[in-house]
Amino acid sequence: MTGPTLPPSWRWGFPAFALVVVALATYLLVGGLGTVLDSRRGETREAVTDPRSPGFEAFVEQTWSMLVATEDPDGELVQVAVVAASDRGGSGGTVLLVPVELAVDPGPDGSGCDGAPCTIADHHRHGGLADVRRAVVSVLDVEVTGATLLTPDRWTSLAGAVDPVPVALSGDLVDVAADGTSVVRFGAGSTRIPAADVVDFFAHAGVVGGADRMDRQRDWWRSWLEAVGSGDPTANLPVLDLDVVRLLDAVAGGRVRVPVGPWMGAVDAPTIDQARLTDVVVAMFPVPIPRAPGLRPTVRLLNGTGDHSTDVAAREAVLRAGVELVVVGNYRTEGAIQTRVLYRDPVHHADAEALAATIGGGVLFDELLSPVTDLTVVIGSDFTPGG
Alpha-carbon gap, residue 262 to 42, rounded angstroms: 46
- 264: which residues sit within 8 A by CB, 6+ positions away? 270, 271, 272, 273
pLDDT of residue 385: 81
Q: Which CATH architecture has domain 65-159+202-284?
A: 2-Layer Sandwich (3.30)
Integer CA distances (angstroms), 28 to 23, 35, 45, in order: 9, 10, 22
Look up the CATH number of domain 294-379. 3.30.70.2390
Report the chain's mean pLDDT, rounded to a whole number. 87
pLDDT of 144-165, one tens digit each? 999 999 999 999 999 998 989 9
* 43 band by pLDDT with thresholds 50, 70 and 90: very low
| Residue 363 pLDDT exceeds 90 | yes
Domain with CATH 3.30.420.590 in the chain: 65-159+202-284
> pTM above 0.85?
no
Domain with CATH 3.30.70.2390 in the chain: 294-379
Quick check: 289 and 295 in contact, CB under 8 A?
no
Please name which of 282, 301, 310 lies closest in space to residue 384, comparing C-alpha atoms.
310
pLDDT of 226-256, one tens digit each? 999 998 999 999 998 999 999 999 999 999 9
pLDDT of 297-319, one tens digit each? 999 999 999 999 999 999 999 99
% of the chain exceeding 90 in pLDDT: 69
Alpha-carbon gap, residue 218 to 220, rounded angstroms: 5
